[in-house]
Chain A
Amino acid sequence: MSLSPLRIEAVMEQLSRRRFLKISAATFGAGAVGSQIPVVSSLAMGSAPPAGKVETIATYCEMCFWKCGGIAHVRDGKLWKFEGNPLDPMSRGRLCPRGTAAVGTHYDPDRISKPLIRTGERGKEEFKAVTWDEALNYVADRMKKIAAEHGPESIALWKHGTGSRFFEHVMRAYGCINKGAPSFAQCRGPRDIGYLLTYGTGLGSPEPTDIANTKCLVLIGTHLGENMHNTQVQEFAQAIGNKATIIVVDPRYSVAASKAKYWLPIKPGTDMALVLAWMNVLVAEGLYDKEFVAKYGHGFDKFAAAIKDNTPEWAEGETGIPAATIRITAREMARTRPATLVHPGRRVNWYGDDAQRSRSTALLNALLGNWGRQGGLFLQAGMSVAGYGFPKFPEATKPKVDNPDGKWPFADEEVTTGLRQATISGKPYPIKGWVVYAANLLQTLPNEKETIEAISKLDLLVVVDTHPSEITGYADVVLPDTMFLERHDDLYVAWGRQGWAALRQPVVPPPGEQKPAWWMAKQLADRLGVGEYMPFKDMDEYLAKRCEKSGIDYAKFRKEGIVMGEKKPITVEEGATLEFETPSKKVEFWSDQLAKAGFDPVPKYTAPETPPAGYFRLVTGRAPVHTFSRTQTNLLLKDLMPENEVWVNAVTAAKAGLKSGQYVKLRNQDGVVTNRVKVKATQRIRPDTLYMVYGFGHTSKMLKSAYLKGASAAQLNTRYKVDPLMGGTSIHQNFVTFEKEA
């Protein structure tokens, strides 16, 4: 490792009051968030908030997609604050910074407030405000025209989040069978397939990780604390308090790494080599859970033979992690098994071989025997809530277009780039309409040029969202959605340590002409002649009926926001029995189905490419105060993190003549150049790696307070690999260099 020429140094980075005030100088006058109401009353203590008539309403959060239960406080008719609901198993009474800042989304002046119809060229963001009738008639007429010419299958839905539920329902009723959700192929999909192939079940959300009780937690790229999946962060702190051994694998000294006993600053792209070597040690030294493997394992001997050359010495050459460290950490994991947990990760689409890498972590967990064990992966318990009772959907007469001939044989959800490619090619049949619900496709899908090309084939592009975004600029029609504190939604019926259901209900009216998604869907259903699929008057009636059919006291539910399911055993310790729905009904150390489909039955490592001279590998992650590209204009969060920074190793930065705080542009191997971004010269990252939080660098001028702030990691993702098992697309396959500002 190259070391800094500097002596041991103390670097202080802080969001200091002074800097904060500087930011405030620019933003002051835009209106205070909390202080929509005069602040000072004639009280002795001027700094206490004013008293007022306060009402509280329970609902669940959608600032991200963890869906924590919260309690909104309305003071004198205005939204004041949003707190965690103590009854909710996700928040446990404490929201994350984004949830706490939900108030700042409600008051955000950059929200879309009226339905819009495009007047200029696509991408130019030129619109006129129209009435809801005009907008919905426009959408319905275009949908009918496409359906008449090509069939309803030629209109596809893109979706993310709870609000898409009735759009999906109405479109399916109309015969629109094609859809895509970036939450699969651009996020957790590869992991779920890796686990599905190994254990017969994916993990879904929330992951069944018993972090609270683990004695050894292994995080591979997972940056809990910066990634604010609330419950997991709460349990991570519990694990720290319990003095669990924490092992963090990350090219960056993440916050989680700073809490770890072992930080392994791995060469990016080589994680699977490390995991194989860890398994090699567990097998070679006989440290694995022999009882678990004997009872539940399939093909262990062939697996053991397949990894016998993946020694720590071999892995050291690939990963840069010393063989001795690999051995020590493997033994640490074995020492506390089965209460050792290798976190399965969540947004795992890194290098295009992610399903196999995820499978390797699934196998490592299997060697530790932690399936259905305390401190490992518990068995998810659910609860059942009756559906409303809808008419049957019409039979599909055409195949879906996203995964032609099972090109990605193990995809169990739609492949987004497959849908995009079918839109471009018009094969096997044309896709002429896209309805995009809360998915900024220009930032979530790789290579924005392909997305723009696909859009050029469309006769109709509808975007439904709370905020403008890059995709909004291309829309023919923009339908302004309410944010979650202003609307009903369907129930969130969840799996966890104990099943539960959460209720979303409106707290305050929307500030403009925004309407809830279910209302838009119902209006469209009527216009498309499928009104019988939305037979309820409103969501209150719909939810009341679901509750009534399920024996849930709706009045109490409305008050408390959460209803718990039955308690069931979720670990062997509690009396649960283990069953696996794989073809062999066992944990598949060797996968016959992968072998049969022509893939490696045991994960095999391929070395990543090395960046050309002067280039660095770009990896991305999250910040605790933002969600994807959705929250950059939130009145509270934008001050806490107005732009992202590019993390550059201090020595690398010195060699390149870069200083912290200086702006540079990043150019990738394909010549794509970003907006300017601040350099963070730091010891906290490998010399060969750059890091950015994604979601910034907005090019939508309609996002007034976020426009051109920071750089977009998505824009640099022009070179991507597609996971051959399931269609996931990589984000970390790009090499970038600096362009200094003139």
Chain B
Amino acid sequence: MPRFGMVIDTLKCVGCMDCVVACQTENDVPQGFCRDWIVTETRGEFPTLSLEIRSERCNHCDNPPCVTCCPTGASHVEDFGKTVQVTANACIGCKACISACPYGARFVHPKGYTDKCTFCLHRVKEGKDPACVSVCPTHCMVFGDLDDPKSAVSQLLNSRKHRTLLPEAGTKPRVFYLS
């Protein structure tokens, strides 16, 4: 069984938010909400500057606090791809997972359940990339099986400098940023 992850090249990302829009239309995300978003960090002072732009989303952590805190089991690790998913009709909207997630990746859908990035499993099952990955004009995102040493994600992680967000939280995130 694969263990899905994502590798995002911050050197290529231009922060155009296409990933945000593609996710919204693909997944019928209600207007005004988003499952992925862009963070821009500026460092330095004029004219010696650097900029990092990141497309962020649920990290589908190996050690997901949102799953351990869920009282109903709605938040769970799906067998397929070891991804973190929410079963809508089992969710009681208690928001424990929203507090537990250090990445702010979750929100309450207007229908009352917690919503977030699914890694577009419905697409992945059809052999496609997640919507954000497949739309990106810069090809800065790569999706695949972290346990397969031949996968593009594994090869990028083997050959490029990378990091995850808030490693100190101990969540073992599976979205990696190349720099």
A binding-site residues for B, Cβ under 8 Å: 1, 3-4, 6, 8-18, 20-21, 23-25, 27-28, 30-35, 37, 39-40, 42-50, 80-84, 93-97, 100-101, 103, 224-226, 228, 230, 233-234, 236-238, 240-241, 253, 255-256, 258-259, 263, 265, 624-625, 635-637, 639-640, 649-651, 682-687
Contact = CB atoms under 8 A, between A and B. Distances in A.
B135 A83 contact: yes
Nearest to B106: A17
Contact of B38 (A14, A37, A95): A14
A82 B26 CA distance: 9
A27 B27 contact: no
A263 B26 CA distance: 37
Contact of A48 (B16, B31, B38, B121): B121
A624 B12 contact: no
Given A11-B43, A32-B30, A48-B118, 19 more contacts: A8-B43, A8-B45, A9-B45, A12-B40, A13-B41, A17-B37, A25-B32, A34-B25, A43-B88, A46-B91, A95-B135, A100-B22, A228-B16, A237-B138, A238-B139, A241-B11, A263-B47, A684-B46, A687-B46
Contact of B28 (A39, A230, A233): A39
Contacts of A3: 45-46
B85 interface: yes
Contacts of B71: none
B21 interface: yes
Contacts of A94: 18, 134-137
B77 to A, nearest CB: 12
Contacts of A28: 30-32, 110
23 contacts: A8-B43, A11-B43, A14-B37, A20-B37, A21-B107, A32-B28, A32-B31, A34-B25, A35-B28, A45-B121, A46-B88, A46-B115, A95-B135, A100-B25, A103-B25, A225-B15, A225-B138, A237-B138, A624-B14, A624-B18, A636-B21, A639-B32, A683-B45
B26 A81 contact: yes
A231 to B, nearest CB: 9
B109 interface: yes
Interface stretch (B48-56, B60-68, B144-152): B48-56
Nearest to A640: B17
Contacts of B107: 17, 21
A97 B25 contact: no
A48 B78 CA distance: 13
Contacts of B47: 1, 253, 263, 265
Given A16-B104, A230-B137, A258-B49, A9 B18 contact: no
Nearest to A22: B32
B26 to A, nearest CB: 6
Contact of A9 (B11, B29, B43): B43
B163 to A, nearest CB: 15
A12 B136 CA distance: 23
A90 B69 CA distance: 47
Contacts of B24: 33-34, 636
A27 B42 contact: no
B91 A237 contact: no
A46 B87 contact: yes
Contacts of A12: 39-42
Nearest to B78: A45
B159 interface: no
Contacts of A237: 12, 14, 137-140
Contacts of A15: 17, 20, 37-39
Contacts of A34: 24-30
Closest 4 CB pairs of A and B: A46-B88, A24-B32, A225-B14, A237-B138
